[in-house]
Structure 1
Amino acid sequence: MMRPRILFVDRADAGRQLAAALSLQPIDDPIVLAVPRGGVAVAVEVAQALGAKLDLLFVRKIGAPQNREVAIGAIAGSDAPQLVLNEELVAACGASRAYIEAEATRQKDEIARQRKRYLSGRQPVDLKMRNVIVVDDGVATGATLAAGLKALRLQSVASTTLAIPVAPPEALEALGAEVDRIVCLHEPDDFCAVGLCYRDFPQVSDAEVMQALVAPGGATGGP
C-alpha cells in the first residue's frame, strides 16, 4: 500500500492551518475543547489564534468483546461522564450488559484519573450556552468522537463546531449529524490512518497535556 502524501509537519502545524480556516468563519466567544491526548497540541494553536479558552473533552471507547478496536460505544464527558452506545453494534457483536457495565466502569475510572491529573482538581469550564469548538488531531472512523459529541449536547451548549485536520469523507458524513458545522482541512479518498498524514506524529504525554492547560489561554492559565 502506498503511503499517502504528508499533509502536516506535526500537530502544531495542523493547528495553525486549522486556526486559519476557522478565522474565515468567526464564532462568537468560543471555547476550544481538545480531545486528549493527541488533540491537545492541535487545539493549543487554535485556542491561541482565536483568543479562546482551552479545556478538554474526555472520551473513552467501549470496544467490542472480540475486537477492542471496534467501538460499540463510549464514555464521554468530564463532571458526570455519559455512556453512549451503538445498539446495532452491541447486538451484532453480542456484547452482554455485564460486559458493557464492566467496561463502562473501567473507562469512567480512567476519565477520573485523567481529570484529576490534567485538571489538578479544578472543575471543568461551564459550557452552558457556549459556542464550543471540538478539536482532535484527526478522525479515522469517528465512532468514539460521536459519543463525545452526543454527551456534549447534554450540557446545553449554544453550538458545536468540529474542527479537525484530516478525516475520511464517510466519517465526516456520520459526524455531521452530531454538530452544527464541521471544519476539516483534508478529506482524502485514500485515507488509511491519521498518523500517516503527519511527518512527525509522536505520542503525546500527560505532562504535555498539563503544560498546555496552564499556559496562557489554557483552562488553568491566564486570559
Structure 2
Amino acid sequence: MFANRKAAGEALAKKLEAHEGADTVIFALPRGGVPVAAPVAKRLKAPLSLLFVKKIGAPGQPELAIGAIVDGEEPTQILHNDIIRSLHVSELYLSTESDLALAEIERRRALYAGLYARVSPKGKTAVIIDDGLATGASMEAAISAVRQQGATRIIGAIPIAPTDIIEKLKSDVDELICLDAQESFHSVSQAYHEFMQLSDADVMEVLNEFSGDERSLVQKRA
C-alpha cells in the first residue's frame, strides 16, 4: 500500500529507471495521474506533459465508464460497446456526453496552459501514467492517442489495476508496469493510505512545484 500518490510515483520511478534519457516523455492523465507522474519525470530527467482524457459515464451511473475521450488534433473516442449494449445507451446520450467531455478537456487545457510541457510523442518513448485503473477506458484512449501521434514505444505505468484489465491492455503497449495487480479489485483507493479527490488547484500546485524543480536544476547545471 502506498502512503499517497507521490509515494506511488516514486515507486514507479524505480521500475522505469532504464528509460531515463532524452527520448522519453512522461504523459500524466489529469487529475490523479499528475502527482504520480511528477516524481517519475523528475527521476528520469524527462519532460512532463499531460494527456487530457475524460471518462464517459453510464446514464445514472457516472462512475461506471462506458468509454472515454482524449483530445488531440483528432479527438480519440474509446467505447465499451458490451456495456453500452447491455445498458441500452442511446446514440443521443453518447453524442451529448462526448461533446461535454471535449468541452471539459478544453477547459482544463486552457487552465493548465503554461504549467506543463506540450511535447509531441512522435519518435519518442511515451510513458503514460495514471494513479490506477478501474475499467482501463482512460488508459486505452490515451494509448490510442499517442500511437496515432507517432510514439515509437508506449509504456503504461500504474500503481494499481485489476488483473483482467492488465491482461486486456498488455497487447496495446510495448510494456505495462503495474505495482499492485489485484484479482480482488474494489477501487483504486484501496492501494493508498491517503487518497483524496484532487481539484484543479491541487494539480496546478504539483505542476508549479515540478516546474520550479526543473528551473533550479537548470540553474545548478549552468
Q: Is the structural similarity TM-score above 0.5?
A: yes
- In structure 2, the partner of 1:199 is 193
How many residues are treated as equivalent by the alignment?
A: 214
Three-state SS of the structure 2 residue aligned to 1:126 is coil
Three-state SS of the structure 1 residue aligned to 2:186 is coil
How far is 1:79 from its partner? 4.6
Amino acid at match of 2:151: V
Question: What residue ranges of structure 1 are gaps of 5+ in the alignment?
Answer: 1-6
Farther-moved stretch of structure 1 (46-55 vs 165-174): 165-174
Farther-moved stretch of structure 1 (99-108 vs 57-66): 57-66
**Contact 1:34–1:55, Cα closer than 8 Å, also in 2:** yes
- In structure 2, the partner of 1:10 is 4
- In structure 1, the partner of 2:123 is 129
How far is 1:216 from its partner? 4.8
Give the Cα–Cα distance (whole angstroms) in 1 for the partners of residues 175 and 115 of structure 2: 32
Three-state SS of the structure 2 residue aligned to 1:83 is strand
1:211 has 2:205 as partner: yes
- In structure 2, the partner of 1:76 is 70
- In structure 2, the partner of 1:171 is 165
Per the normalisation by structure 2, the TM-score is 0.87
Give % identity.
38
1:157 has 2:151 as partner: yes
**Contact 1:79–1:123, Cα closer than 8 Å, also in 2:** no
Give the Cα–Cα distance (whole angstroms) in 1 for the partners of residues 39 and 31 of structure 2: 14
How far is 1:42 from its partner? 0.7
Alpha-carbon RMSD across the aligned residues, in angstroms, is: 2.2
Three-state SS of the structure 2 residue aligned to 1:185 is strand
Pick from 161, 185, 189 the counterpart of residue 179 of structure 2.
185
How far is 1:126 from its partner? 1.6
Superposed CA offset, 1:3-50 (max 9, x none): xxxx11111111111101111x43652110111111111101000010
- In structure 1, the partner of 2:56 is 62
**Contact 2:12–2:159, Cα closer than 8 Å, also in 1:** yes
Superposed CA offset, 1:83-102 (max 9, x none): 22233333332222211111
Do the aligned partners of residues 121 and 59 (structure 1) sit closer, same or farther apart at CA in structure 2, a change above 3 Å counting? Answer: same
Amino acid at match of 1:47: A
**Contact 2:115–2:207, Cα closer than 8 Å, also in 1:** no
- In structure 2, the partner of 1:3 is none
Superposed CA offset, 1:33-76 (max 9, x none): 11111111110100001001001111111122243322222111
Question: What residue ranges of structure 2 are gaps of 5+ in the alignment?
Answer: none
Per the normalisation by structure 1, the TM-score is 0.86
Superposed CA offset, 1:125-148 (max 9, x none): 222111100111111221232122
Farther-moved stretch of structure 1 (98-107 vs 119-128): 119-128
Give the Cα–Cα distance (whole angstroms) in 1 for the partners of residues 61 and 120 of structure 2: 36
**Contact 1:52–1:217, Cα closer than 8 Å, also in 2:** no
**Contact 1:34–1:134, Cα closer than 8 Å, also in 2:** yes
Structure with bigger RCO (C-alpha 8 Å, 6+ apart): 1
- In structure 1, the partner of 2:113 is 119
Give the Cα–Cα distance (whole angstroms) in 1 for the partners of residues 190 and 67 of structure 2: 26
**Contact 1:38–1:137, Cα closer than 8 Å, also in 2:** yes
Farther-moved stretch of structure 1 (133-142 vs 85-94): 85-94
- In structure 2, the partner of 1:95 is 89
**Contact 2:51–2:142, Cα closer than 8 Å, also in 1:** yes
Three-state SS of the structure 1 residue aligned to 2:56 is strand
Give the Cα–Cα distance (whole angstroms) in 2 for the partners of residues 134 and 196 of structure 1: 21
